[in-house]
Amino acid sequence: MLISIDRVLTKDEVRALRVELDAAPWQDGAATAGTLAQAVKRNQQLADGSELAVRLGQQILRRLAATPLFISAALPRTIYPPKFNRYAGGGTYGAHVDSALMFLPGSRQQMRTDLSATLFLAEPDEYDGGVLEVEGPFGVQEVKLPAGDMVLYPSSSLHRVTPVTRGARVASFFWLESLVADEAERTLLFDLDQSVQQITPLLAADDLRLIQLTGVYHNLLRRWAKP
């Protein structure tokens, strides 16, 4: 399932990030791609361990921790420190599947990538192309969101970024390992949680039906989560 999360960052926050990112020293993205991905990847990235990447990444993680829709959809166990990329002048990333296992930077700890995230940091009218295309059970879904919005999609899906033919597409991207590895189980939990959230304001806090539904959510989570 593909989940859009609106306003992870406010427009003011995006503007402040962009002032720093637009002046940053961008590097060739192919340097950090795996052997197969190198052939299809043409973009720029911010150096991973740089002070700027670390500081802006931490800012994004703080906002995500305070975004209930993200927590509900992702049930994150481990989040890879956010990275930053820039596509311009025909820059593109051909069809690929993200690596299943990754080492956290500067660590021997490995994580499984269950979900991939793209946080858009350029408005759609700043660039032509640069569409994230994700193949799913119902065909290809095209994603190009307002600046500050984020999309979550299964890391197992085939995806690509179409060539940017005008302007520049700036984004943050990262992966996460979920407490619930199975996509179908995680989607059921998300749907149930969202339904409970929607009916909660309509019922008294001690309504037995609400208490039972909330109990079902937690007991499914207890069954499926692998902390």
**Nearest approach, Cβ of 99 to Ni ion (angstroms)?**
9
Taking the least distance from each CB to Ni ion, the nearer of 31 and 216 is 31
The least CB distance from residue 96 to Ni ion, in Å, is: 6
**Residue with Cβ nearer Ni ion (17 or 33):** 33
Give min distance, CB of 43 to Ni ion, in A: 11
For residue 227, what are the CA distances in angstroms to 192, 220, 222?
20, 14, 10
Indicate the residue among 98 and 149 with the shorter CB distance to Ni ion: 98
| Strand ranges (E), 72-192 | 76-79, 83-88, 92-96, 101-103, 110-112, 115-120, 132-136, 139-143, 150-154, 159-161, 168-178
Cα–Cα distance between 27 and 43 in angstroms, integer? 8
H or E element at residue 212: helix 208-224
Binding letters toward Ni ion, positions 13-52, x by CB under 5 A: ----------------------------------------
CA-to-CA distance for 188 and 203, rounded, in angstroms? 22
Q: How far is the CB of 15 from Ni ion (least distance, A)?
A: 27
Q: How far is the CB of 201 from Ni ion (least distance, A)?
A: 38
Question: Shortest distance, CB of residue 218 to Ni ion, whole angstroms?
Answer: 33
Count residues contacting Ni ion (CB under 5 A)? Answer: 1
Contact 76, 177 (CB under 8 A): yes
Q: Please, which residue, 98 or 114, has the CB nearer to Ni ion?
A: 98
Separation of alpha carbons 93 and 163, rounded Å: 8
Calculated CA dihedral for residues 180, 78, 8, 55, nearest 10 degrees: 180
Residues 91-130: x where in contact with Ni ion by CB under 5 A, - otherwise, as a string:
-------x--------------------------------
Closer by beta carbon to Ni ion, 39 or else 216: 39
- The smaller minimum CB distance to Ni ion, of residues 57 and 154, is found at 154
Beta pairing partners, 117? 152, 174
Give me the residues paired with residue 46 across strands.
Answer: 26
Stretch that binds Ni ion, among 23-31, 46-54, 90-98, 139-147 (CB under 5 A): 90-98
Let me know: does 115 contact 134? Beta carbons within 8 Å: no
> What is the nearest approach in angstroms of Ni ion to the Cβ of residue 116?
6
Q: Which residue is nearest to Ni ion (CB)?
A: 98
| 65-69 contact pairs (CB < 8 A, 24+) | 67/5, 67/8, 69/3, 69/5
Interface with Ni ion by CB under 5 A: which residues?
98
